[in-house]
Amino acid sequence: MKTEQIVAEIVKAGAFKAAPIEQESYVLDRSFRDICASNGCGTYDKCWTCPPCIGDIDELIARVNTFPHGVLYQTVGEIEDSYDFEGMMEVGEKHARLGQEIQAKVVAKIPGRTLHLSCGGCHLCPECAKRVDEPCRHPDLALAPMEGYGFDVYNTAKATPLKYVNGTNTVTYFGIVLFDSAE
């Protein structure tokens, strides 16, 4: 599967935009773990796909850097204003559904190793099993957030045509599919 085909299929699955990115353009910074630990989103240590549950930041950054190729993608949705938390959650859930669609219809067809990262906490269950100290209910489907693996999404996106901000009263969420070979 060639990179252009992966890009096209991710857009066909419902992404607003998608673009190829190479390993030298990944911007990774271990300080993102401190931002996660500040728990602004409320999922730190409350979701199996979020820090600290996903593991040591330096090991995750090293893992990301083993993948030479990637495709960055995004969901853009409208919100009423910058205080529309409910609207942001709705777009976040739409992005989570897109991630599952991409996982099933695109990532499953890429030969070799892959790593698919999304954004924010896993939205698969109404309440993550971590909150009740039970094992993850869907370990094969749950996607970890880019930031949890140390991605500086704002600066990583600069290497692509994807804009970090897409207009007044919109919210944008990113995901990335990393892979070994695009043959």
Q: Which residues of this protein are in contact with ligand SF4, per CB under 6 A?
A: 47-49, 122, 124-125, 128-130, 136-138, 142
- We find the least distance from the C-beta atom of residue 107 to ligand SF4, in angstroms, to be 16
Residue number, 125 or 159, with CB nearest to ligand SF4: 125
**Residues contacting 141, CB < 8 A, separation 6+:** 100, 103, 124
Min dist CB 129 to ligand SF4, Å, is 4
Least separation in angstroms between CB 100 and ligand SF4:
10
* Those residues with Cβ within 8 angstroms of residue 143's Cβ, 6 or more apart along the chain or in another chain: 49, 96, 99, 103, 116, 117, 118, 122, 175
Closer CB to ligand SF4, 117 or 136, in the complex: 136
| Residue 35 in tokens | 């931002």
Taking the least distance from each CB to ligand SF4, the nearer of 70 and 121 is 121
In terms of CB distance, is 48 or 174 closer to ligand SF4?
48
Least separation in angstroms between residue 134's CB and ligand SF4 is 8
DSSP labels, 33-51: HHHHHTTTTS-TTTSTTST
C-alpha span between 87 and 137 (Å, rounded): 27
